[in-house]
Structure 1
Amino acid sequence: MANILRIALSCPDRTGLVAAVSGRLFDLGANLGDTSFATLGSTAEFTIVCSMPESVTVEETREALAALPELKDADLWVGRPKDEASPPQGNKVTHSIVVSGGDRPGLVTRLAEAFGDYGASIVRLTSERLDDVEGFRYLVRIETRIPKEKEMTCLATVKNTSEEMGLACSFKSL
């Protein structure tokens, strides 16, 4: 039987960081689940949910990761998620949505409100500011679970909201 662990770390970004962490977890017998990695300036943020063999403790996992040279000066947290029950069905993604264009303060808030109005759950959200010929362009990717009976109206609202703000919006059913 396996136990579920959540690992969160923040440290200076270094070449080989993802390989070192995932390799050490593999050596411990981990099976990676939801994983997120991003660089924020010169800082790397890495969050992992994984299942570990019962024989590997939280402390052993933390010590094995902390010993990695790539994690020098890292803020490292290893523990059990608050909800160790089986993953909720709410994590099933039904749609992938991409919104892009110029800077529009409040965009994420307005989109999140639209999803909430239709009982949809945001499963994953990433937002990036990209260099463009005309300055900056923003790219927001959202993976969501939309109830089947509200799918068309929710997607129409999200598309209309984006277009009202002068942004491009595309989506696909998964």
Structure 2
Amino acid sequence: MSSYKALLSVFSHDRVGLISDITGTLFDLGVNLEDTSFAVLGSGGGLTSILVVPDDMTPNHVAGEIAALSGFENADIDVKRLSLPESDTPPTDITHRIKCEGQDQPGLLARMTEVFIDFEANIVRMKSDHIEGEEEDHFITRFSVSIPEHKADACLTTLGNITERLGQKLSFEKVG
């Protein structure tokens, strides 16, 4: 049976069983999941996934089946057929896991992520958590990155200098 790939995005109030309801419905439809991620975002939960959808099923049908589930009345659900042309992509092999934490401030992610560009490092995964504190808000960001081996030391040193100026504590580990 022929198929196409689509991007699924669901944002809903978080609750127990949210992921199971979505993935079970997709299974029942004959839709296969590829790369998938979920995160609690504020009081909601966000799931994104690359889907392999049978050709005879429209993206609107898939979205409608999820929207019809109990508890998804106010959910934002989007299914879009992927149409990215084949092209060269940056490396996705994770060479380093990096953690930055400290006081939250505007522009924090922008300053940290700009460092990776200068060293041709690709962010493969990123997760940031904003934690409200009694005295100040705390921000924790975790990166899984692919850094060219010959640029890794300079990249991490530069990132350390930037994060220190931003009041962040940096830690990292080499993978593999």
TM bracket (short chain): 0.7 to 0.9
1:58 CA drift (Å): 2.5
Question: In 1, Cα distance between the equivalents of 2:167 and 2:63?
Answer: 46
Equivalent positions of 1:34-113 (< 5 A) are 34-54=35-55, 56-83=57-84, 85=86, 88=89, 90-113=91-114
CA deviations on 1:122-148 (whole Å, 9 max, x unpaired) are: 222221112446433210111222122
Count of aligned pairs between the two proteins: 174
Q: Which runs of 5+ in 2 are unaligned?
A: none
Match of 1:155 in 2: 156
Question: In 1, Cα distance between the equivalents of 2:34 and 2:170?
Answer: 29
Cα 1:112–1:51, aligned 2, differ >3 Å: closer, same or farther? Answer: same
CA deviations on 1:13-59 (whole Å, 9 max, x unpaired) are: 33321110111122233332332333333333322212234454434
> Quick check: 1:5–1:79 contact (8 Å CA) kept in 2?
yes
TM-score of the superposition, structure 2-length normalised? 0.82
1:80 CA drift (Å): 1.5
Question: In 2, Cα distance between the equivalents of 1:85 and 1:55?
Answer: 24
Match of 1:19 in 2: 20
Q: Which runs of 5+ in 1 are unaligned?
A: none
1:3 CA drift (Å): 2.5
Match of 2:122 in 1: 121
> Quick check: 1:16–1:70 contact (8 Å CA) kept in 2?
no
Question: In 2, Cα distance between the equivalents of 1:25 and 1:93?
Answer: 29
Higher deviation after alignment, 140-149 or 36-45: 36-45
Q: Identity, % of aligned pairs?
A: 35
> Quick check: 1:8–1:47 contact (8 Å CA) kept in 2?
yes
Match of 2:166 in 1: 165
Cα 1:87–1:38, aligned 2, differ >3 Å: closer, same or farther? Answer: farther
CA-based RMSD: 2.5
Question: In 2, Cα distance between the equivalents of 1:150 and 1:80?
Answer: 37
